[in-house]
Structure 1
Amino acid sequence: MPHAFSPSRPKPAPSVRRGRRRALACAGALLASVTTLLSVGTAPAAPATAPATTPQGKPRVTAAVLGLDDGSRRPTLYGEDAAYDTASIIKVDILATLLLQAQDAGRHLTAQERAHAEPMIKSSDNAAANALWRQIGQATGLESANKRLGLTATKGGPGARWGLTRTTASDQIRLLRAVFDGQGTASGPKTASSALTEESKAYIRTLMTRIQSDQAWGVSAASGTQWALKNGWLQRNTSGLWDVNSVGRITVNGHHYLVAVLSDGSRSMDEGVTLVERTARQAIAAATAGN
């Protein structure tokens, strides 16, 4: 969820952190089951299976980092590049799919589509995501667009359950590249990075810099003052454990990085946020060690 890429993000004061925890707790209550991810009026789904954890029962976590300034085409991975539930990070992919479909039709987004897209990214509005998920054709539409965007390991969630889409950290870097990567050459072949027009890319980027302050956590913890991101969180029915994810573009010491951190198996949302932020910092520290 155009002007400058990213806003300033000073370290939150204790009161802000407490406010964030309260906001996250409220969000957790609203997302306390997989059925929250269903469209309004749909019958409850069968409970989802518990997320996989390590043999010691610890949460899983995987990070992927790609430097945009060094010409690298492959991200550096930290942890196993396994599949995770997306939760609300899928909303970036939903918007990219919507924009690609609009491009194919030779039109701009309608006022109603923008009225859904903007709260879907900026405030992670689920009702807006429900509407756009139906509009793009659910998993079929998403996967068709992802082939053109360069994603190879993302499977759309069943039926109305967009939050149960499965993805990998490296595939999230591919999606971020399609939004944030270089412009390419006018005469060169069409690539995954140029499947979206510059106007479409700028729209997604702008929304990702304008997320609500209570959601300004995740990979942005590893940045300086500039970032654009989308986070996702979901508590699973059967286990009570949390999926917590964060993806985005950050700037560190003048260098630009795409970062994706996916996790599951945390005992609380706060624990998951702490894990994601710690992992993002460690991955960026390793990536920037030679700079």
Structure 2
Amino acid sequence: MPYRPSLRPPPRSVRQRSPRGRRAGLCAAFLTGSVATILTVGTLTPAPAAAAAVRSDAVTADVPRPDPQRPQRTPRVTAAVLDLDSPARKPRVYGDDIPYDTASIIKVDILAALLLRSQDTGHRLTRQERAQAEAMIRRSDNAAANLLWRRIGRAPGLAAANKRLGLTSTTARPGAKWGLTRTTATDQIRLLRAVFGTGRPSPEGSTALSEASRTYIRTLMTRIDDEQAWGVSAASDPGWALKNGWLQRDTTGLWDVNSIGRITVDGHHCLVAVLSDGNTSMKDGIAAVERAARAAVSPTRAS
């Protein structure tokens, strides 16, 4: 049965018009956010050099039926932040930098792979491809992602593109289940650098995409539909670009909730990736991701 991640939109209780509407309460939320992160998702401290290995559970498109005999996992979250305006060119990582399912954040990677393919052939995206790319990024449309996933050559095509983009820890499963691609927070920072970096030569592949391709991805990520404007943007001043992803596990009923993007923090341009799993609900997952994002950028606000 074809995999259909993110079939349901966020519940109304967690939809937000835009992070811009929450600026008045950001300071108070930020002050409590760091503490809440420690209490809710574990101490948000720099990760050790070695990452723990994890095993992925099976996911299907069936209605989730949590197994009452299966113990509930503790929610986990990992955040990575790279300040583009800082001399340091390595991201700060909080939590264990272990693999998580991408869910729909993989759609940025799919679009990057599509644009590399377009660059190689010397042909611009067709009108249909552009319509599919816009739907995939702005509305997180899964049907469009299915089509473009096939267009790039599925897992082998993504792997070839990621080698050029400098990603080293992102692995897709064979077949149609693009939402079960595994990635790490630091690899998502590498992807974001390929899109939002300065354009200077880099061994990490940040110049593989042409300026036109990078501008195209950036533009779509700044035009996310209002109902999906949550996640790392909660830690941003006005001016952000993002892509979110979420899925519910069939075997446990628990939620993977992720968010990646470029945000502005007190004049600093930061790339932020927050990945989480084991959340009891999507609402809880969104709250955990936003708290982690605020806590992770706090050193930037203090600098």
Would you call these one fold, judging by a TM-score over 0.5?
Answer: yes
Which amino acid in structure 2 is aligned with residue 213 of structure 1?
Answer: D
Q: CA deviation at 1:71?
A: 3.1
Q: Output aligned runs, 1:176-255, within 5 Å.
A: 176-184=192-200, 192-255=205-268
Q: CA deviation at 1:191?
A: 5.8
Q: Give the % identical residues.
A: 65
Q: Output aligned runs, 1:36-75, within 5 Å.
A: 36=61, 57-75=73-91
- Residues of 2 paired with 1:111 and 1:171: CA distance? 30
Whether 2:158 is the aligned partner of 1:147: answer no
- Residues of 2 paired with 1:213 and 1:233: CA distance? 16
SS across alignment from 1:154: coil
Q: Tell me if structure 2 keeps the 8 A contact 1:244–1:272.
A: yes
- 1:277 corresponds to which residue? 290
Question: What 5-or-longer segments of structure 2 have no aligned partner?
Answer: 1-17, 25-57
Which amino acid in structure 1 is aligned with residue 267 of structure 2?
Answer: G
SS across alignment from 1:260: strand
Q: CA deviation at 1:286?
A: 2.8
Q: CA deviation at 1:119?
A: 0.5
Q: CA deviation at 1:49?
A: 11
Q: CA deviation at 1:182?
A: 0.1
- 2:185 corresponds to which residue? 169
- Residues of 1 paired with 2:222 and 2:269: CA distance? 15
Q: CA deviation at 1:34?
A: 4.5
Q: Tell me if structure 2 keeps the 8 A contact 1:89–1:245.
A: yes
- The alpha-carbon distance between structure 1 residues 279 and 159, as it changes in their structure 2 partners (threshold 3 A), is same
Q: Tell me if structure 2 keeps the 8 A contact 1:149–1:193.
A: yes
Q: Tell me if structure 2 keeps the 8 A contact 1:34–1:234.
A: no
Q: CA deviation at 1:9?
A: 1.9
* CA deviation string 1:241-273 (max 9, x = no partner): 000000000001111000000000000000000
Q: Tell me if structure 1 keeps the 8 A contact 2:65–2:252.
A: no
- Residues of 1 paired with 2:267 and 2:93: CA distance? 22
Q: CA deviation at 1:140?
A: 0.4
Which amino acid in structure 2 is aligned with residue 229 of structure 1?
Answer: L
SS across alignment from 2:271: strand
* CA deviation string 1:155-199 (max 9, x = no partner): 013310000000000000000000000022xxx678611100000
- 2:20 corresponds to which residue? 9
- 1:25 corresponds to which residue? none
Q: CA deviation at 1:288?
A: 3.1
2:146 to 130, 133, 147: 130
Q: CA deviation at 1:115?
A: 1.1
- Residues of 1 paired with 2:137 and 2:172: CA distance? 18
- Residues of 2 paired with 1:256 and 1:143: CA distance? 28
SS across alignment from 2:22: coil
- 2:118 corresponds to which residue? 102
Which amino acid in structure 1 is aligned with residue 206 of structure 2?
Answer: S
CA RMSD, aligned part only? 2.6
Q: Which has the higher mean CA deviation after the structures are superposed, 65-74 or 207-216?
A: 65-74
Q: Tell me if structure 1 keeps the 8 A contact 2:255–2:285.
A: yes
- Residues of 2 paired with 1:60 and 1:231: CA distance? 17
Q: TM-score, normalised by structure 2?
A: 0.78
- 1:288 corresponds to which residue? 301
- Residues of 2 paired with 1:235 and 1:12: CA distance? 30
Which amino acid in structure 1 is aligned with residue 80 of structure 2?
Answer: A
Q: Which has the higher mean CA deviation after the structures are superposed, 279-288 or 194-203?
A: 279-288
Structure 1 runs of 4+ with >4 Å offset: 33-36, 47-50, 188-191
Which amino acid in structure 2 is aligned with residue 86 of structure 1?
Answer: T
Q: Tell me if structure 2 keeps the 8 A contact 1:8–1:226.
A: no
Q: CA deviation at 1:48?
A: 12
- Residues of 2 paired with 1:77 and 1:143: CA distance? 24
- Residues of 1 paired with 2:202 and 2:87: CA distance? 18
Q: CA deviation at 1:57?
A: 3.6
